[in-house]
Structure 1
Amino acid sequence: MAEYDSQWAAIERLPTFERLRSSLFDNNGDVGDTDNKGKRAIDVTKLGAQERHLFIEKLIKHIEHDNLHLLRKIKNRIDNVGVKLPTVEVRYKNLRVEAECEVVHGKPLPTLWNSLKSILSVFTKLPGSKSSQTKISIINDVCGIIKPGRITLLLGPPGCGKTTLLKALSRNLNQSLKITGEISYNGYKLEEFVPQKTSSYISQNDLHIHEMTVREILDFSARCQGVGSRAGNFSLEILLKDDSVIDSLSIHNNDDDNNNNTCFWPNEEVMVEVSEREKEAGVVPDPDIDTYMKAISVKGLKGSLQTDYILKILALDICADTLVGNAMRRGISGGQKKRLTTGEMIVGPTKALFMDEITNGLDSSTAFQVVTCLQQMAHITDATVLVSLLQPAPETFDLFDDLILMSEGRIVYHGPRDHILEYFEDWGFRCPERKGVADFVQEVISRKDQAQYWYHMEVPYSYVSVDMFSRKFKESPYGKKLDEELSEPYDKSQSHKDALSFSVYSLSKWELFRACASRELLLMKRNSFIYIFKTTQLFVIGCITMTVFLQTQMDIDVLHANYYMGALFYSLNILLVDGLPELAMTLQRLEVFYKQKEFCFYPAWAYAIPASVLKVPLSFVESLVWTSLTYYVIGYSPEAKRFFCQFILLFAVHLSSLSMFRFVAAVFRTHTFAMTAGSLAVFLQFVFGGFIITQPSMPVWLKWGFWVSPLTYGEIGLSLNEFLAPRWQKVSLSLHTKKSSLFYADTTAQEQGADLLDVDSSSFNKHSAPGSSRAIISHEKLSEIRGSEDSHDGTHLDKKSRNSPPLTTIEPKKGRMVLPFTPLTVVFQDVQYSVDTPLEMRENGFTNKKLQILSDIMGALRPGVLTALMGVSGAGKTTLLDVLAGRKTNGYIEGQIKIGGYPKVQETFARVSGYCEQIDIHSPQITIEESVIFSAWLRLSPQIDTKTKAEFVNEVLETIELDGIKDALVGIPGVTGLSNEQRKRLTIAVELVANPSIIFMDEPTTGLDARAAAIVMRAVKNAADTGRTIVCTIHQPSIDIFEAFDELILLKTGGHLIYSGQLGEHSSSIIEYFESIPRVPKIRNNYNPAAWMLDVTSTSTEAKLGIDFALKYRESALYEKNKELVRQLSSPPPGSRDLYFPTLFSQNGWGQFKSCLWKQHLAYWRSPAYNLMRIVFALISALIFGVLYWNQGKKM
């Protein structure tokens, strides 16, 4: 201890600036070692990646407990010296958000003809006539307070206004929406500070650059958000180098009003104050806490310890160095992307969090862990946290302090979470014993489900509308207390200036440029294949070009002068078109750019300048490759200076091309519009470049196009560079050649050409968002909203679901399908799946050549039995589903899989099985009924007549409850068309119409609220009731959804089977099995069996209890029972035959062609944007050609 004190005393003697960056660190990296002999003084800014990882890994071993312990230690250290954390109180009063919509009568599909009629109707309207417009209230006169130090849950059905409220409070709403009312932070209006830097809105959409790893995204976010700094404060780096400056900062004053404040994490200013006060008091801090606090208080680092901390608490450390990926590149899972979206924002020094559905796609155990960390953050650091969730499990629901319940844009309840049941009981509604409170409060405000919760049997039930709930809340004690608090203005003097951000950006302009430049350089390295391919392509084209224009075939005379001109013009066009890939790459990243720009990560120039400057070497190389290949082989003037002049001009054209395509992508933003505009830009430059038609021949009123085209200046420069060479002075060129060679231009145009190309290049490097479009609403929907007959389901519920019975029972419809099918069993035994060990794992010391994903899985799936496949994240649920369905095309599969007692043959198995993807992929331009019809035409037997197919399609639509909206267009997810729940049911219908005996479903309820999930599960039960074999992987099931299944297959981490059997009534079988194992904790009353099961079988609990659940299962009587069942079902039933189909596909080539032609015809006809762009492009091209060549020809 004496040695540690002496080491600390040495650090205390350092100047303030160095002291804030010096700490004591274990030589062996062990954290929390009471033996301090191994300590060494380090500079926290120079911690390596491995040191940071080991430090966090040993500081936080068990996330729930160690994270709480760490935060408490940090809080205690700050409190002990009298420094208080800042608090941000968010108030909103009489808040109303409205959208102006154009009312359309009828619901015509967006076909090319309808779009043309709509365009023509704009021009045919009488002057002064008023269009039919209306205002829709999204949020209607709401009030509330989001208090610091408390975590608040926002609940409500889809379409109730949750997302709009979150965006309004964080000032991230679309500018087209009209906002009235008051929103304030600590008494300051939104216009008086920068709310985007004070708070963070975490979207439900996961937008990330797919070429970056998880760690790189968090590091970049931490860097841009200024981890360790407080936006708006001056830099202390220069001041802290002189200790005399500290005396003038008033940091020794213990008066609370003069205390500097901090955010979630200590910043540089706070560390100055804490360090000085500890020095005065002679306090020696915990070395690990001191190292952590100092390391995260340093701003501008490329790699931050804060990143490693966020990776750990969000359980992203296992995929930290994995690329995010997208649809075309393998990457992290959907749940990991969701957690990455959360981590990207909370890694920064924010004060308030507004989080939108952050647990979608997570299993209940992981969701509980994430919300637990947020709760600890709120309680210990006095953060302000508002979270909206879809269907939180009871244990997750209990973590919240306050609850806001919304419906139809109104607040139904805003108060303590534990008083909500008492509040509704006063209304006469009681939550059943085995019902989740979160599900109950969302269903009790719905017309369809409300009656079942009425418990005053002596009083007749009458429907209580949302408007009545809202008015009664304002009259309740909770509403009156809220009004009293809002009526008292917030005392601004209690809010220190550092609690809010008054500067738009956290870093200096130079630091912002460096951050964006380093990321752009990283992305260029990740896309190096594209640039190498482009250069190789240019090399090949150059080789072909130089053989076409070979110098041995061209003389220096009048005839061949035009050949040289053609070669020069061809070179210009090749390098112009070579920049086209830049348009696609820019489009891919635009969504992320606009998201980060709106969150004040960086300004547009900080993004655009590195994207331009770092492409200069690439343009240099590609231009040099082309010029080197073609110049002397074609036979241009041999002087070296002319070679370099041509190279510089081509280099400038290439730079201009890249900038132009970036500009087009930034302006038009969508692929259809951007590609059309890019093609038009190339066409206009080609036409007005001066080679196709010379400038004197152009109409006078179009000559401006000649001077606007960047290609003109390249053409002028190249022509003068070549034809002013000495060897051409002896040749008398014809007037036509001179005009073609642009000899009418002044000789100084050669220099001006390169300069003007540089100007064009810089002027194109601008990024601006286009104007927003107007929203439209149908007359029927407007009447429905204003009628408010039942808007619990927002704007997405169909007539069929309005007339449906309560969903909590999830009772299926009885009956058989029109088409017969053969019920089949799926039996699998000793199934194992492994892959080659990734290179990254081998480099980190993993010695096995193969990585085991599934280990000795055995089970049976039977007709008419609905089976759930569950497990924690990474247990191998989807992998097992893919192996059984035959969708794994790589890796090593071992074991036996039998269908109906016969060995599985994938070609025939694919004809009797269906697979519902987690991501609902459908053609957006066709309707629900047409999607199902297309699947039926291709997958049903050709022996079935058309009438029977049509009846079967109708029955499937009725079974899945889509017949009420069968004419609705599918649309684009999140933009137009169907809701998430309707898309999920359509996915099931598309597979069910193939009349399969077996259906695999991957997470059919992910991303849905409790009611929508119940609708989907009822559709699944309807399908299972027809005698089909159905197995579903599922995350975060409520009690009702979980107990809708008949059997369960449960996996643990590593792909080991730990349970396979029946659930029993009220999950009695699964509860009895696990409670019979010694040391396993008993389930609490009203606790979700699914959540309890995942908790007690998690890796951490398994290690804590010292139980191997996979071994316990193999030693159980249940295992022997399942083994006997598998043995019995492995033999074919008497009289059965193996599956056989005479052809590989259901339809022959002609039938497939007709079906695909029909679908493509509809898709093209209903793509007005694409078709109109083609028409506009053709019209503009024809018009320009016609005008330019007007009266240019000669009569023969």
Structure 2
Amino acid sequence: MSTQPGLRAASVEKDSRSSNSVVFPSNHDVDIEQGAADDAQLMNNIVQSLAWKRVTVTVKDRKTKLPKTILDCVDGIVEAGEVCALMGPSGCGKTTLLNMLSGREVPGEVGGEILLNGKSVSTTTFRRLSSYVEQEDVLVGSLTVRETLSFAARLAHTNKLTKRDRMRRIEGLLDSFGLRGQSDHIIGTPIKKGISGGQKRRTSVASQLITGPKIMFLDEPTSGLDSAASYEVISFIKTMAKRCNLIIVASIHQPSTTTFELFDKLLLLSGGQTQYFGPVDHVGAHFESIGHPIPLRINPAEFLLDIINTDFAIDDQTSRDKLQQIRDGWIRSPLLTQTEGAIEQCIQHPKEIMVPALSSSNFFQILITLLHRSFIKSYRDFIAYGVRIAMYTGLAIMMGTVWLRLGTDQKYIVPFTNAIFFGSAFMSFMAVAYIPSFLEDRSTFIKERANGLYGSAVFMLSNFLIGLPYLFLIAIIFSCIAYWLGNFRPTGTAFMTWIMWLYLDLLAAESLVVFISSIFPIFVVSLALTAFANGLWMCVAGFLVTPEILNVFWKYVFHYIDYQSYVFQGMIVNEFEQRTFTCGADCNCMYQTDLASECRISGQGVLNVYGYHAGNTGKWVGILLGIILGYRILGWASLAVRK
């Protein structure tokens, strides 16, 4: 199976001349590798082996409702400095095994043991020692490549580098992964194009390497890369593994011959069962011993995948017999005995793992880092707040010109109340525009939490704090346009009170978006549910049907927890409490108040129709703050529970 050195070198040289290939300079490799090695020694994080024993995952088949085995008693062990490849046809269980090994949530019934240095460790400890690069690149689209690496380093628990050393490592990774030319390009947003898919893949791997993990799990790290780029990425990963004693497990699909030979070990899966596990340079001898020699001039990886893949076989029985023969050959193989013996040796002679404790200021350091990253995203990503500012500005112009220069005659009372309801309710409704931005933030958080970087509390707090100035800016812009065009009560106090209610309205609406999107992180579902909730709040807020006659069910179940109702109350009291209106030339007043003898209407008469009374501003503000806090706590709880 092995390839002659001359042939391998020639292949690499040919790949590197490809017009679509990326040249990877290596002048910074020594710096970054030495830096990582120094960190590892400083941290005293000694992980000598990762072993998994009789790992089994069983789920219920959706069609037959019978148990279906995804992984069937899979064993393996990878030692420090080794890179292990997981290979197999689609649906064989590679990603499930990666999730199982990395401590991530796996649906169904699971069994077996995951051992570090021969011992079981807590999920928290495991995540602080490991890092996971997912198949789908989860990156903040408005950050540049350099900023992505910088924030990844700043968020890492074990990062004790000075700023100078951190920048040196970033520069080394940019060169080693062929990203120097794209270092100041953004990742890419739906509106603005960024780097290519292959460059995103390399950025994902680099951003995890810079955090200094002792164990790395890579799900298709070469996806989207050409053969030369794939070879250089895996080659650099292997060099890092050797230099820093890392344990790396990577699923990979049909690598080139030269890339395949870079791996130290291979776990070959089919139908959830192990077909081979052991050194890559022994795979040829093993398959030859069971009657399936690897032909010359054939990519070994492609050959192995072909003979264990039964998805497209014409004769299913023949394919099943061949696969069973391969399985039986593995069960009889001395490599299986050696694997089981190595695992037992680790269990019988476990070694301690020293994990550095987190500093007490870590929470605040992470909070500042997340705020910094969110601030960059908020002003670069037009979807985050730019779209909403434009929408609300347009809404303010429309509202101000429709309800233009309302007067003090009684015929303007209904238009005033309509304008107040429209301004508060539709400002709240349009918060659905925040859903895409939050879902992107949530995806980034899920990935980074799974890698043990931070928890849901600091994420939810940073998300709340970064929105405060932008929502206040929106409230100011909207009010400056709509309030004065509409000729609402023309005093400074009334104007600032209006802004306060509008600001609280926006905070509550965004908190509702965060709560719903945290539970249902699917755009269409979140959009539908948020729109429905806002429609419900409009119905029971007290304008369409006054609280005095609102059905008792809707009143006592929903009206009192409706943030829009308190905003509407506050705004309408602010407008009518100290205002009077004329009854017209015939002195036929629409509302009977103590000013009827003067052919005028006191604003309190309007409030009486709704059952509102002045003097409750502090109470309503307190309730609104409680609702905002409640939504945020519920959003945090949904993220915390769904680990």
| TM-score band w.r.t. shorter chain | 0.7 to 0.9
Letter in 2 for 1:618: Y
In 1, Cα distance between equivalents of 2:446 and 2:473: 31
1:598 counterpart = 2:558? no
In 1, Cα distance between equivalents of 2:69 and 2:332: 23
Tell me: CA distance 1:547–1:757, structure 2 relative to 1, closer, same or farther (3 Å): same
1:212 counterpart = 2:143? yes
| CA offset digits 1:1068-1125 (Å, max 9, x no partner) | xxxxxxxxxxxxxxxxxxxxxxxxxxxxxxxxxxxxxxxxxxxxxxxxxxxxxxxxxx
Tell me: CA distance 1:82–1:318, structure 2 relative to 1, closer, same or farther (3 Å): closer
Letter in 2 for 1:712: S
Query: SS state of the match for residue 102, structure 1?
Result: coil
Tell me: CA distance 1:84–1:662, structure 2 relative to 1, closer, same or farther (3 Å): closer
Tell me: CA distance 1:64–1:402, structure 2 relative to 1, closer, same or farther (3 Å): farther
Q: Which residue of 2 aligns with 1:585?
A: 437
Query: SS state of the match for residue 345, structure 1?
Result: helix
| Alignment equivalent of 1:331, drawn from 194, 216, 229 | 194
* Matched ranges for 1:776-925 at <5 A: none
1:514 counterpart = 2:514? no
Tell me: CA distance 1:481–1:386, structure 2 relative to 1, closer, same or farther (3 Å): same
In 1, Cα distance between equivalents of 2:36 and 2:174: 21
How many angstroms does 1:523 deviate by?
A: 0.9
In 1, Cα distance between equivalents of 2:576 and 2:58: 66
TM-score relative to the length of structure 1? 0.47
| CA offset digits 1:608-634 (Å, max 9, x no partner) | 223222222222222223333344443
In 1, Cα distance between equivalents of 2:203 and 2:568: 49
In 2, Cα distance between equivalents of 1:506 and 1:147: 33
Q: Which residue of 2 aligns with 1:526?
A: 380
Q: Which residue of 2 aligns with 1:609?
A: 461
Paired residues of 1:408 and 1:466 also in contact (CA < 8 A)? no
Paired residues of 2:220 and 2:251 also in contact (CA < 8 A)? yes
Aligned residues, how many?
A: 599
1:670 counterpart = 2:518? no
Tell me: CA distance 1:715–1:77, structure 2 relative to 1, closer, same or farther (3 Å): closer
How many angstroms does 1:540 deviate by?
A: 4.5
| CA offset digits 1:1136-1157 (Å, max 9, x no partner) | xxxxxxxxxxxxxxxxxxxxxx
In 2, Cα distance between equivalents of 1:450 and 1:562: 74
1:170 counterpart = 2:33? no
How many angstroms does 1:694 deviate by?
A: 0.4
| Alignment equivalent of 1:694, drawn from 539, 543, 546 | 546
Q: Which residue of 1 aligns with 2:271?
A: 408
Tell me: CA distance 1:487–1:613, structure 2 relative to 1, closer, same or farther (3 Å): closer
Q: Which residue of 2 aligns with 1:89?
A: 49
Give RMSD over aligned pairs. 3.5
Paired residues of 2:28 and 2:172 also in contact (CA < 8 A)? no
Paired residues of 2:547 and 2:611 also in contact (CA < 8 A)? no
Paired residues of 2:52 and 2:115 also in contact (CA < 8 A)? yes
Paired residues of 1:637 and 1:727 also in contact (CA < 8 A)? no
Q: Which residue of 2 aligns with 1:180?
A: 111
1:316 counterpart = 2:248? no
Letter in 2 for 1:380: R
In 2, Cα distance between equivalents of 1:533 and 1:419: 58
Tell me: CA distance 1:739–1:466, structure 2 relative to 1, closer, same or farther (3 Å): farther
Tell me: CA distance 1:372–1:566, structure 2 relative to 1, closer, same or farther (3 Å): same
How many angstroms does 1:691 deviate by?
A: 0.8
Paired residues of 1:637 and 1:722 also in contact (CA < 8 A)? yes
In 2, Cα distance between equivalents of 1:576 and 1:749: 22
Q: Which residue of 2 aligns with 1:650?
A: 502
Q: Which residue of 2 aligns with 1:703?
A: 555
In 2, Cα distance between equivalents of 1:512 and 1:657: 26
Q: Which residue of 1 aligns with 2:588?
A: none
Q: Which residue of 2 aligns with 1:399?
A: 262
Paired residues of 2:32 and 2:168 also in contact (CA < 8 A)? no
Identify unmatched segments of 5+ residues in structure 1: 1-61, 105-132, 230-266, 269-293, 297-302, 452-460, 773-1196
In 2, Cα distance between equivalents of 1:561 and 1:351: 69
Tell me: CA distance 1:662–1:472, structure 2 relative to 1, closer, same or farther (3 Å): same
How many angstroms does 1:332 deviate by?
A: 0.9
Query: SS state of the match for residue 458, structure 2?
Result: helix
How many angstroms does 1:548 deviate by?
A: 3.8
Q: Which residue of 2 aligns with 1:752?
A: 619
1:564 counterpart = 2:416? yes
| CA offset digits 1:820-851 (Å, max 9, x no partner) | xxxxxxxxxxxxxxxxxxxxxxxxxxxxxxxx
Paired residues of 1:694 and 1:740 also in contact (CA < 8 A)? no
Letter in 1 for 2:330: F
* Matched ranges for 1:110-259 at <5 A: 133-174=65-106, 176-191=107-122, 193-226=124-157, 228-229=159-160
| CA offset digits 1:867-888 (Å, max 9, x no partner) | xxxxxxxxxxxxxxxxxxxxxx
How many angstroms does 1:478 deviate by?
A: 1.2
Paired residues of 1:99 and 1:138 also in contact (CA < 8 A)? yes
Tell me: CA distance 1:633–1:324, structure 2 relative to 1, closer, same or farther (3 Å): closer
* Matched ranges for 1:1095-1110 at <5 A: none
| Alignment equivalent of 2:338, drawn from 472, 481, 499 | 481
Query: SS state of the match for residue 548, structure 2?
Result: helix
Letter in 1 for 2:221: I
1:497 counterpart = 2:457? no
Letter in 1 for 2:368: R
In 1, Cα distance between equivalents of 2:173 and 2:459: 25
In 2, Cα distance between equivalents of 1:488 and 1:71: 34
How many angstroms does 1:479 deviate by?
A: 1.3
| Alignment equivalent of 2:62, drawn from 78, 92, 102 | 102
Tell me: CA distance 1:475–1:537, structure 2 relative to 1, closer, same or farther (3 Å): closer
In 2, Cα distance between equivalents of 1:632 and 1:450: 74
Tell me: CA distance 1:437–1:527, structure 2 relative to 1, closer, same or farther (3 Å): closer
Paired residues of 2:580 and 2:602 also in contact (CA < 8 A)? no
Letter in 1 for 2:131: S
Paired residues of 1:218 and 1:307 also in contact (CA < 8 A)? yes
How many angstroms does 1:371 deviate by?
A: 1.1
| CA offset digits 1:489-521 (Å, max 9, x no partner) | 4467633413xx776x99711011111111111
In 1, Cα distance between equivalents of 2:267 and 2:167: 36
Letter in 1 for 2:87: L
Tell me: CA distance 1:537–1:139, structure 2 relative to 1, closer, same or farther (3 Å): closer
How many angstroms does 1:406 deviate by?
A: 1.5
Task: Identify which range, 729-738 or 329-338, moves more after superposition.
Answer: 729-738
In 1, Cα distance between equivalents of 2:305 and 2:402: 74
TM-score relative to the length of structure 2? 0.84
Q: Which residue of 2 aligns with 1:237?
A: none
Letter in 2 for 1:709: D
| CA offset digits 1:7-44 (Å, max 9, x no partner) | xxxxxxxxxxxxxxxxxxxxxxxxxxxxxxxxxxxxxx
* Matched ranges for 1:1084-1095 at <5 A: none
| Alignment equivalent of 2:577, drawn from 724, 736, 747 | 724
Tell me: CA distance 1:343–1:648, structure 2 relative to 1, closer, same or farther (3 Å): same
| Alignment equivalent of 1:352, drawn from 215, 227, 243 | 215
Paired residues of 2:578 and 2:603 also in contact (CA < 8 A)? no
Paired residues of 1:690 and 1:740 also in contact (CA < 8 A)? no
Highest RCO, 1 vs 2 (Cα 8 Å, sep ≥ 6): 2
Paired residues of 1:97 and 1:180 also in contact (CA < 8 A)? yes
How many angstroms does 1:577 deviate by?
A: 3.0
In 2, Cα distance between equivalents of 1:402 and 1:506: 40
Q: Which residue of 2 aligns with 1:432?
A: 295
| Alignment equivalent of 2:281, drawn from 402, 414, 418 | 418
| CA offset digits 1:901-922 (Å, max 9, x no partner) | xxxxxxxxxxxxxxxxxxxxxx
In 1, Cα distance between equivalents of 2:325 and 2:140: 46
Q: Which residue of 2 aligns with 1:1050?
A: none
Paired residues of 2:313 and 2:319 also in contact (CA < 8 A)? no
Tell me: CA distance 1:740–1:347, structure 2 relative to 1, closer, same or farther (3 Å): same
Task: Identify which range, 685-694 or 372-381, moves more after superposition.
Answer: 372-381
In 1, Cα distance between equivalents of 2:387 and 2:264: 56
Identity %: 21
| CA offset digits 1:297-334 (Å, max 9, x no partner) | xxxxxx64322222221111111111111554311111
1:555 counterpart = 2:408? yes
Query: SS state of the match for residue 315, structure 1?
Result: coil
Tell me: CA distance 1:749–1:611, structure 2 relative to 1, closer, same or farther (3 Å): same
